[in-house]
Amino acid sequence: MTAARKLVIATRESRLALWQANHVKDLLEQRGHAVELLGMTTRGDQILDRALSKVGGKGLFVKELETALEEGRADLAVHSLKDVPMELPPGFELACVMEREDPRDAFVSPHFASVQDLPQGARVGTSSLRRVVQLRALRPDLVIEPLRGNLDTRLRKLDEGQYDAIVLAAAGLKRLGLAERIRAVFEPESMLPSAGQGALGIEIRAGRADVAAALAPLAHQATWLAVAAEREVSRAMGGSCSMPLAAHARFDGGMLHLATAWGDAEQPGPLLRAAGGGTIADLGEAVALGAEVASRLRAAGAR
């Protein structure tokens, strides 16, 4: 197959974003398309001194890329799906969800092998309220301190001794060849991932049938159904990254199992959990499962 014209991928310029964009570029080139990258810096990359939840949330990483799509400077944008807001602005659509990398969170530390091994009162770096409430549930004694920046920046701050350990998505570390930094992975039972974690999503302008057709072979249906259920939980709960909310779905024996957790970031207390599952065959059924589990989570007291 030969493409009529070149496909331009808008991408952030962090090492992980470039890896992801190049990954999609390779896959498209293997299918005969000519592909070029358009690198740009987003507000989310520039603001490193405040928690994302305080400065505008997930959209910060996406907006400049969408402007490039809108102005026709680019045809597609590759995102870590967990950074993509639940509702895209009018005129944009998620054209494709790709096969998921490891969705779990990773424990990274120069001195300690796992969260259980940390001494009393150890300092753990994370700015994710989802990770904060789950760390508190595991180890109420830990001192949790803010940590922002791209993966390399976060690892550098750990290595400089600002923290005893940090928690990062395993997927990003593996993609950058940093898997050896992982001392332990958190099983979902102890640290439930965020909606979309480990999955890549490709955004296009709505109605670009030519681009959608080029991307169709890159889609992974099982991942797409799982993240659709997860993202519906976030959407139904009011979904921003300032919410201490986890949602993780996976197929097992033909059934999609969806687990969620919510914790009160202001008042330490028990995590609230809700789960559900079903034989899910299409996106509509995945979204319905997400809605059902979200209403259970709200009934359990999550806000």
Ligand X SMILES: NCc1[nH]cc(CCC(=O)O)c1CC(=O)O
Point out the residues that are catalytic: 83
Q: Work out which of 12, 33, 82, 205 binds ligand X, going by CB under 6 A.
A: 82
Q: Kindly tell me which of 33 and 115 has the beta carbon lying closer to ligand X.
A: 115
What x-and-dash track marks residues 168-207 binding ligand X by CB under 6 A? xx-xx------------------------xx---------
Strand 255-262, strand 245-252: pairing: antiparallel
Read off the tokens for 182: 């992982």
DSSP 125-140: E---HHHHHHHHHH-T
Rounded to the nearest whole angstrom, what is the least distance from the CB of residue 240 to ligand X in the complex?
Answer: 13
- The answer to whether 226 and 90 are in contact (CB under 8 A) is no
**Neighbouring residues of 40: CB distance < 8 A, sequence distance ≥ 6:** 10, 11, 12, 13, 64, 65, 68
* Contact between residue 14 and residue 39 where contact means Cβ atoms under 8 Å apart: no
Q: How far is Cα 150 from Cα 148, in angstroms, rounded to an integer?
A: 7
- One character per residue 243-282, x = contact with ligand X (rule: CB under 6 A): ----------------------------------------
**Looking at beta carbons only, is 33 or 131 nearer to ligand X?**
131
232 lies in the binding site for ligand X (CB under 6 A): no
Cβ proximity to ligand X: between 102 and 292 the closer is 102
End-to-end CA distance of the chain, in Å?
50
Q: Which is nearer to ligand X, 188 or 278 (CB)?
A: 188
**Interaction site with ligand X (CB under 6 A):** 80, 82-83, 168-169, 171-172, 197-198
